[in-house]
Amino acid sequence: MVNALDPDRPLRSDARRNREKILSTAVRVFAEQGLDANLDQIAKEAGVGAGTLYRNFPTREALVEAAYRNELARLCDAAPVLLATMTPREAIRAWMGLYIDYATAKHGMADALRAVVDTGRNPCAHSRELMLESLSSLLAAGVADGTVRPDVGADDLLACVVGIALASRALEQRPQAERLLDLAMDGLRRKER
């Protein structure tokens, strides 16, 4: 993670922790309160001073954009970590669950994200490509170990997971989303010859 004041110098570990706390709190608060979220409240709930928040994110739009990009990075960066600790099928299923978390956060932040887009910036511009890259690596590992059908593309699986997220985005619908993800996993199973 880079230092906003000096991009050539990485953040100190305490500054990185503070930034992470701010971003995770911001996602939750923007999801709960939308554009009415109070930035000083976000700082307080994150356990940092308002000055720390404003030093890292001088505007509401900068905070919303950074919070969204952090959620996207968390999702996309998970693929190699999951593959290092799970079988490819388990990793795909875990990634799909993380996607539901990401989509829920994004849905909750929709008004705040629209406000950022209205300023001429689009934090979502390359999201699909990054997700497809992440999902492609998971599918390739599953195909390589013989547990995933080779005819399923990342774009098809992403469309499936997006549909599940749209159909069951409310928190109380999470059990249904989990069941639907399990059904999608059944569809990925390589058929016996």
User: Per residue in 65-97, pLDDT tens?
Assistant: 999 899 999 999 999 999 999 999 999 999 999
- Output the pLDDT for position 36: 82
Of the options 1.10.1060, 1.10.287, 1.10.10, 1.10.3470, the CATH number for the domain spanning 1-58? 1.10.10
Which residues are within 8 A (CB) of 50 and not within 5 positions of it... i.e. 6 or more apart? 39, 40, 43, 44
Question: Is residue 3 pLDDT above 70, yes or no?
Answer: no
In angstroms, the CA 149 to CA 18 distance is 43
User: Taking the mean position of all CA atoms in its chain, how far away is CA 6?
Assistant: 26
Question: Is residue 49 pLDDT above 90, yes or no?
Answer: yes
Written as one letter, the residue type at 56 is N
Average pLDDT, integer, range 130-159: 96
Contact status, residue 135 vs residue 95, Cβ threshold 8 Å: yes
- Asked whether the CA dihedral 35, 46, 15, 130 is positive or negative, the reply is negative
In which band, very low, low, confident or very high, does the pLDDT at 47 lie, cut at 50, 70 and 90?
Answer: very high
Question: Is residue 9 pLDDT above 90, yes or no?
Answer: no
- CATH 1.10.357.10 holds for 67-188: yes
Question: Is residue 156 pLDDT above 90, yes or no?
Answer: yes
- Output the pLDDT for position 11: 63
- Output the pLDDT for position 129: 94
Question: Is residue 107 pLDDT above 90, yes or no?
Answer: no
Question: Which residues pair with residue 148 across a beta bridge?
Answer: 189
What residue spans define the domains of the chain? 1-58, 67-188
- Output the pLDDT for position 181: 95
Question: Is residue 189 pLDDT above 70, yes or no?
Answer: yes
Which carries the bigger pLDDT value, residue 83 or residue 113?
83
